[in-house]
C-alpha cells in the first residue's frame, strides 16, 4: 500500500474557510430578524431611546432625564421601523444591527424624495419584475401590520401622560427639575407620534411612485393588489386612532 501523503497547507486553509462560513451563518441566524430588522433577543432595551432626545432637540427643547416606562420604551421600539426609510438597510447591516440615528422629517436634509424608494427597488438586480412587485407588497403589508400595535401603544402612553399632566399641580414638593423632565417626556412622546404620522405619509407617497413606475416598465395584474394595499395604508394613516397635538403651537411639517 502506498504511503499517505501529508495534506500540506491546503487542509488547514480549507478548514479555516469553512469555519468562517459557518460562523457567519450562525451569526446571521442569531441576529437577523423578520422584515430585515435586528432580532429582539440581541437588542439593547433602550436602543431607541435616542428618538426622544432627537425629537425634542429638533425643536430646541432639552430631553427628559426620566427613565423610560415600559410603554414609552415600547412606543419607541414600535416607532422605529415606521420611521426608518423602507427597504433602506442592506442585508449585512441587518445582520450586524448597524444603523445610525436620523432626524425627524421636519428637519431632514436633503428634503424628502418620494422617488428614492422606487428607484432603488427598480434599479436593484432582481430575477424578474414579479419579485419587485412582491417586495413592494411586502413592504406595504409590513407597515399595515405595524400600524395598530404602534397606535394602540400611543393611546396608552397619551392616556398616562394626561394623568401625569394633571398630577403636576397636585404633587407636593415637586422640584423644578422633576417638572421640566415630566414636561419634556410628554413632549417627546407627542413628537414621536407626529414623527410616525409624517413618515407614514411619506411612505405612501413613495409606494405610489414606485407602483406607478413599475406599471410603466413591467405591467402585471398583481399591480392591483399592490394598489389596494397602498390604499388601505393610506386610509389608516388618514384616520389614526389617536392624534398628537402640536407641541410648539403649530403643526410641524416635512421640509420640501
Asked if 48 and 76 touch (Cβ cutoff 8 Å), the reply is yes
Strand locations in the chain (E): none
pLDDT, tens digit, 9 for 90 and up, residues 21-69? 444 444 444 433 443 344 444 456 789 999 999 999 989 999 999 999 9
Place of cell 425629537: 55
pLDDT, tens digit, 9 for 90 and up, residues 197-236? 999 999 999 999 999 999 999 999 999 999 999 999 999 9
Eight-state DSSP code of residue 219: -
Which set of grid coordinates corresponds to residue 33?
430578524
DSSP bridge pairs for 164: none
pLDDT band at 13 (very low <50, low <70, confident <90, very high): low
pLDDT, tens digit, 9 for 90 and up, residues 58-107? 899 999 999 999 999 999 999 999 999 886 554 434 444 455 677 888 88
pLDDT score recorded for residue 9: 53
CB atoms within 10 A of CB 1: 3
Q: Which of 53, 115, 109, 117 is closest to 255 using CA atoms?
A: 109
Q: Which of 94, 83, 80 is closest to 29 using CA atoms?
A: 94
pLDDT score recorded for residue 66: 96
Residue 147 falls in which region: left (phi positive, over 0), alpha (psi -120 to 50) or beta: alpha
Q: Is 31 helix (H, G, I), strand (E, B) or coil?
A: helix
Amino acid at each position: 500500500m502506498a504511503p499517505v501523503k501529508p495534506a500540506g497547507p491546503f487542509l488547514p486553509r480549507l478548514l479555516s474557510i469553512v469555519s468562517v462560513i459557518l460562523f457567519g451563518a450562525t451569526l446571521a441566524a442569531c441576529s437577523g430578524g423578520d422584515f430585515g430588522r435586528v432580532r429582539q433577543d440581541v437588542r439593547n432595551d433602550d436602543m431607541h431611546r435616542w428618538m426622544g432626545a432627537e425629537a425634542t432637540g429638533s425643536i430646541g427643547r432639552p430631553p427628559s432625564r426620566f427613565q423610560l416606562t415600559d410603554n414609552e420604551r415600547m412606543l419607541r421600539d414600535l416607532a422605529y421601523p415606521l420611521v426608518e426609510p423602507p427597504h433602506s438597510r442592506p442585508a449585512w447591516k441587518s445582520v450586524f444591527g448597524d444603523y445610525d440615528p436620523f432626524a425627524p422629517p421636519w428637519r431632514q436634509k436633503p428634503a424628502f424624495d418620494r422617488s428614492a424608494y422606487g428607484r432603488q427597488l427598480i434599479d436593484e438586480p432582481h430575477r424578474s419584475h414579479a419579485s419587485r412587485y412582491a417586495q413592494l407588497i411586502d413592504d406595504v403589508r409590513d407597515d399595515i401590520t405595524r400600524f395598530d400595535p404602534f397606535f394602540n401603544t400611543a393611546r396608552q402612553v397619551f392616556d398616562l401622560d394626561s394623568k401625569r399632566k394633571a398630577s403636576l399641580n397636585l404633587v407636593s414638593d415637586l422640584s423644578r427639575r422633576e417638572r421640566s423632565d415630566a414636561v419634556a417626556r410628554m413632549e417627546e412622546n407627542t413628537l414621536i407620534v407626529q414623527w410616525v404620522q409624517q413618515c407614514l405619509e411619506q411612505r405612501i407617497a413613495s409606494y405610489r411612485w414606485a407602483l406607478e413606475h413599475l406599471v410603466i416598465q413591467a405591467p402585471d395584474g398583481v399591480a392591483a393588489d399592490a394598489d389596494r394595499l397602498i390604499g388601505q395604508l393610506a386610509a389608516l394613516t388618514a384616520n389614526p386612532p389617536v392624534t398628537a397635538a402640536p407641541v410648539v403651537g403649530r403643526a410641524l411639517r416635512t421640509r420640501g
